[in-house]
Each structure stands twice: as structure tokens, then as C-alpha cells.
Amino acid sequence: MTDFDYALDLQNVSFSWHKRHAPVLKIAEWRVEPGRRIFLHGASGSGKSTLLSLISGILVPTSGQIKILGTDLARIGGMARDRFRARHIGVIFQQFNLLPYLSVEANIELAVKFGHRPILNKDSIAELTDRLGLDRSILKRKASQLSVGQQQRVAVARALINHPELIIADEPTSSLDSDTRDEFMRVLLESAALNRTTVIFVSHDKSLGHYFDQEISLHDLMQAGETKA
Ligand SMILES: Nc1ncnc2c1ncn2[C@@H]1O[C@H](COP(=O)(O)OP(=O)(O)OP(=O)(O)O)[C@@H](O)[C@H]1O
């Protein structure tokens, strides 16, 4: 990976779902320094998930440039983008997306396998789950047998196991009550801080904003874009 000053660097980005439709996203410039923790909020349908898909290279912009950790994801092929995501980006979704029929350990090992970081072994999985407050006996249980609170910790473990430089979280707290939600935020952000991981966290719940270095609405991000463009 090349050296980079910004974990995220978006320049003149626009994205439309269909060629003849108006863009759902237009951002003239958005730069995020490594290690920053950003809280992004916005109305339903405003394009937050679309933006996260662009940042993680699941989508590529219709025009403009997105550099993630110094790499322009549109310039590398689809398979290379998948590899890049597995190695450098930890993704946590609302539903946690664990494979229900696999054990907790196998769910995490899958992320290790796709990340191609052979230095990691079962000890590092156990150490990480310890740190996240999960009993080691849970590693052998099927993901489908876990409580929601346990699933969220496993999802954090899976996102962190490859020591990603960037974490992207899309409404990960929406199914949690307020106690487990605060615990989730603590576990996620403390673990991210250990590796100076950049965090981009999307939620409707503005009360979470105080956990972050910066709060920004997608609307403001796009307005700033308009005045700069
Ligand atoms: N696969 C798709 N094909 C076409 N249009 C889509 C697709 N996915 C999303 N959209 C549209 O793009 C716009 C932005 O959707 P997106 O899911 O990014 O919003 P959001 O801010 O994440 O919403 P929410 O907070 O409700 O999850 C919406 O108008 C949506 O209908």
C-alpha cells in the first residue's frame, strides 16, 4: 500500500444508480485523516449506505475519485477491490451478518482467510475475544445460538481481527437496547483506538455523536461540496 495523508480522500465524487438519473450523491471534497472517528448521520434515503458502499469499493463512483488509504479503488479490478476490503477494511452491518451455521471461531477465521494475513492464529482470535469480554467457550458455539449482545461482540471481533486501518459501521446499534448499545460503542472504539484505526460510523441515532471526534450530516457534506465545486 502507498503512503497516504488521508484515510479517505474524495474529490468531485458523484454517483447515480442509473445513467440518466440525477446523482444521489455529490461530494466535491471530503478528507479524513488517519485515526479519526467520524459520525455520519442523515435522513432515511439520503445516501448514507450508498456512500459506505463507495468507500468500501462495493460500488465505484460515476465520476470523480475516491482514494481509500492512498488507493484509488476504481483503478484496480473487482477482485483486487475485494482483496483490499478483506485486508484493510473492517465492516460491521446492522444485522452483523454472521454465518449462523458456523461456529463463532469459524466465522472469525473466515475473515482471517479472506484477509490473507497468515500471521494470525487461533491464539490471536482467543485474545481478541477475551478483550471484547466474550467467554472463550463461546468460540465453539454456532453463531445462531448467541444472544444479540454476544453477536455484536463477535461482529466487532470479526471486523478487527485483521487489524484493519479503516472500520465502516452501518447502523450497528439499531437492534440494541441502550445499555448494550453503550457497551458496544465502548468496545468498538477502545479496540479501534489501540491500532489508530479510522472509524466511519453511520447512524440515525444522534445521541451517539458524543463518542466521536467529528459529527457530520450527509446533507452538510454535500452542501460543502456544492460551494467548493
Ligand atoms: N440498488 C439500488 N438501486 C437503485 N436505487 C437504490 C439502490 N439502493 C439504494 N437506492 C436509492 O438510493 C438512495 C439512497 O439510498 P441509501 O440506502 O444509500 O440511503 P440511506 O441514507 O442509507 O437510507 P436509510 O437510512 O434508510 O438506510 C435512495 O433513494 C434509494 O432508494
| Position 1 pLDDT exceeds 60 | no
Determine the Cα–Cα distance for residues 227 and 204; give it in Å rounded to an integer: 26
| Position 225 pLDDT exceeds 60 | no
Domain spanning 36-48+86-228, CATH class: alpha beta
Can you give the pLDDT at residue 2?
56
Please tell me the distance between residue 179's alpha carbon and the centre of ligand 1 in angstroms: 30
Binned at pLDDT 50, 70 and 90, residue 228 comes out as very low
Binned at pLDDT 50, 70 and 90, residue 119 comes out as low
Ligand 1 closest atom vs CA 53:
18
Please tell me the distance between residue 132's alpha carbon and the centre of ligand 1 in angstroms: 32
Residue type, 179: D
- Give the burial class of 114: count Cβ atoms within 10 A of its Cβ; 0-12 exposed, 13-18 middle, 19 or more buried: middle
Q: What is the pLDDT of residues 208-224, one digit of tens each?
A: 999 999 999 999 999 87
Q: What is the pLDDT of residues 129-148, one digit of tens each?
A: 888 788 889 999 998 898 88
Which residue owns the Cα nearest ligand 1 atom 3? 17
In terms of Cα–Cα distance, which of 97, 74, 55 is closest to 198?
A: 55
List, in sequence order, the alpha helices (H) in 32-121. Answer: 48-55, 78-88, 104-115
Strand stretches in the chain, DSSP E:
8-15, 25-32, 37-41, 63-68, 71-72, 89-93, 166-170, 198-202, 214-217
> Which stretch of 38-47, 69-78, 150-159, 198-207 has the lowest confidence by average pLDDT?
150-159
C-alpha of 136 from chain center: 25
Burial 69-104 (b: 16+ CB within 10 A, else e): bebebbeeeeeebebbbbbbbbbbebebebeeeebb
Q: What is the pLDDT of residues 20-33, one digit of tens each?
A: 889 999 999 999 99
Average pLDDT of the segment spanning 161-167: 90
Strand order of the β-sheet with 214-217 is 89-93, 166-170, 198-202, 37-41, 214-217
Can you give the pLDDT at residue 115?
73
| Position 71 pLDDT exceeds 90 | yes
Q: Where are the domains of the chain?
A: 36-48+86-228
Q: Which residue has the cell 482467543?
A: 126
Ligand 1 closest atom vs CA 42:
21
Q: What are phi and psi of 63, to 5 degrees?
A: -150, 165
Ligand 1 closest atom vs CA 47:
18
Which residue owns the Cα nearest ligand 1 atom 2? 17
Binned at pLDDT 50, 70 and 90, residue 175 comes out as confident
Ligand 1 closest atom vs CA 18:
4
Please tell me the distance between residue 56's alpha carbon and the centre of ligand 1 in angstroms: 16
Residue in 19, 21, 24 to alter for ligand 1 test, most ligand atoms within 8 A of Cβ: 24
In terms of Cα–Cα distance, which of 96, 116, 93 is closest to 164?
A: 116
| Position 227 pLDDT exceeds 80 | no
Please tell me the distance between residue 17's alpha carbon and the centre of ligand 1 in angstroms: 9
Residue type, 142: K
| Position 14 pLDDT exceeds 90 | yes
